[in-house]
Amino acid sequence: MPEKNQYLNPNFLKKSLSELNVSELFQEIRDGNIASLSKGITLLESDLDDHIQKSNELLKLCLPYSGNSIRIGITGIPGAGKSTFIEAIGQQIIQGKNKLAVLAIDPSSSLSKGSILGDKTRMEELSRMPDVFIRPTPTSGNLGGVARATKESMILCEAAGFNVIMVETVGVGQSEIELHYLTDIFLLLLIPGAGDELQGIKRGIMEMADLILVNKAEKENADAAKRAVKQLENAVHYMSQNKYGRFIHVDAVSALQGLNIQETWDKITKDISAWKENHSFSEKRKDQAVYWFDQSLHNGLRNIIHQRNDWQKLYAHLKKEIESGKTHPFTAADEMLNKIINGK
C-alpha cells in the first residue's frame, strides 16, 4: 500500500500561500498530492485579496477536471452516528478502488465559534487510509461562505482524482438546503426511539432526502428500529415524488456493527446509475449550477457596495433607517440600487 503522502515535495510545501505559484500548485493537486490539495483548500478559504485572486486562478485550472465524482450529502443531529457511518461506508467505498474525500459543513462553528463537528477526533481509521482525504469544516466565515468554500473544495478534490465525495453537515436546520445544492444524493441519518417527533428534523429536510437511514439498528434496538422505519415510511408515503421523479427510501442500519452498510453503498451506486440514465442526475446538477450562479452574483453585488466609500456610507445609513423604522426595506434597496446604477 502506498504511503499517504507518497508525492510529498517538502520544498514546495514549505512555501507560504502568498509565495505559491498557482500552476505549480495545480500540478501537485493533479498528481494527487494530498498535502497540496489541503493547501489549495486553505487558499480557497482565505479572504485576503491576493489569495482570492490566486484561488480563482487555481479554480479555473481545476474546473475542466471536475464534475466526475459521486457527491453524497449526509446530515443528522449530533450523536446520530454520522462519523461512525462515514467510517463504515468509507471502508466499502475504498474497497471498490474509489478515492474518497470527506468534507464537513458545520453551521455551529460560524454561529457560536464553537464547533460540534470539530471538537472530537473523527473517522480515525479512515483518515489513515491512503485513498482518503478528510477535511474538517472551515472555522470561520458565515454559512453561505462555508458552503461556497465547500463547493469549491469539491472541485479541487475532483481535480485531484477523488471520485466519491461525502459532504457532512450537522442537522440543526441551517445547512441542509446548501447540502441539497452541493450533492447528487442526500442521506438523512436518524436514530430509533429518541423521543421521535422526527427528532426535530423538519418535514422540509425529510422531503429533500433521497435515503433516510435509521442508525443504531443492531439486535438490541431491532424492534425500535423497525417501528421507526415503519413510522417514517408512513410519513414519506404522503410526500409526493420529488421534482426529479425520485421517491424517498427508508432503511435501517448499524454503523457500529456494519449492518446493511454494504447494501447501502450498493443502493447509492445503483440509484446514481439509474438517475444518470433517466437524466434526473443531470437535471439536478443543472439546477445546482444555476443556484451557485445566483449565489455568487448576489455575493458579488453585495461586495461591490463595500468597494466605494460613499456606497458603504449610504448602506450603513440606510441600514440604520430601516432599523429605526424610518424607511421601508424595499424603498431603501431601491435607493441603494439607484445610487449604484445612476449615481443618484
Chain residues binding ligand GDP by CB under 6 A are 76, 78-84, 215-216, 218, 254-256
- Does residue 94 contact residue 2 with C-beta atoms inside 8 Å? no
Q: How far is the CB of 81 from ligand GDP (least distance, A)?
A: 3
Residue 260 Cβ vs ligand GDP, minimum distance, rounded to whole Å: 10
Are 59 and 152 in contact by the 8 Å Cβ rule? The answer is yes
Helix, strand, or coil (residue 77): coil
Minimum CB separation of residue 160 from ligand GDP in Å reads: 25
Tally of CA atoms within 13 A in the half-sphere of 109 that contains its CB: 21
Query: Residue 202, Cβ neighbours under 10 Å: how many?
Result: 12
Closest to ligand GDP by CB, 79 or 200: 79
| Residue (59 or 170) nearer to ligand GDP, CB | 170
Positive or negative, the Cα torsion across 293, 294, 299, 301? positive
Task: Report in angstroms how near the CB of residue 137 gets to ligand GDP at its nearest.
Answer: 12
The helix/strand/coil state of 261 is: helix
What minimum distance in Å lies between the beta carbon of 256 and ligand GDP?
3
Name the burial class of residue 218, with classes exposed (0-12), middle (13-18) and buried (19+) by CB atoms within 10 angstroms of its CB: middle
DSSP of 288-305, one letter per residue?
Answer: HHHHHHHHHHHHHHHHHH
Shortest approach of ligand GDP to residue 92 CB, angstroms? 15
Q: What is the distance between the alpha carbons of residues 84 and 60, in angstroms, rounded to a whole number?
A: 35
Nearest CB to ligand GDP, comparing residues 76 and 90: 76
Three-state DSSP state, 164: strand
**CB closer to ligand GDP, 135 vs 216:** 216
HSE at residue 178, side-chain half, CA atoms within 13 A, is 24
188 DSSP β-pair partners: 75, 212
Output the smallest distance, CB 66 to ligand GDP, in A: 27
17 near 51, Cβ under 8 Å? Answer: yes
Q: Which is nearer to ligand GDP, 82 or 180 (CB)?
A: 82
Cβ closest to ligand GDP, residue 55 vs residue 264: 264
User: Which three cell numbers mark 210?
Assistant: 433521497
- Strand pairing report for 211-214 and 185-190: parallel
Between residues 24 and 220, which has the closer beta carbon with respect to ligand GDP? 220
Distance between CA 158 and CA 101 in Å, rounded?
9
**165 or 189: CB nearest ligand GDP:** 189
Closest chain position to ligand GDP (CB): 81
Nearest distance in Å: CB 42, ligand GDP:
24
For residue 89, which of 273, 263, 214 has the smallest C-alpha distance? 263
Residue 118 CB, shortest distance to ligand GDP, in Å, is 11
Nearer to ligand GDP, 32 or 171 (CB): 171
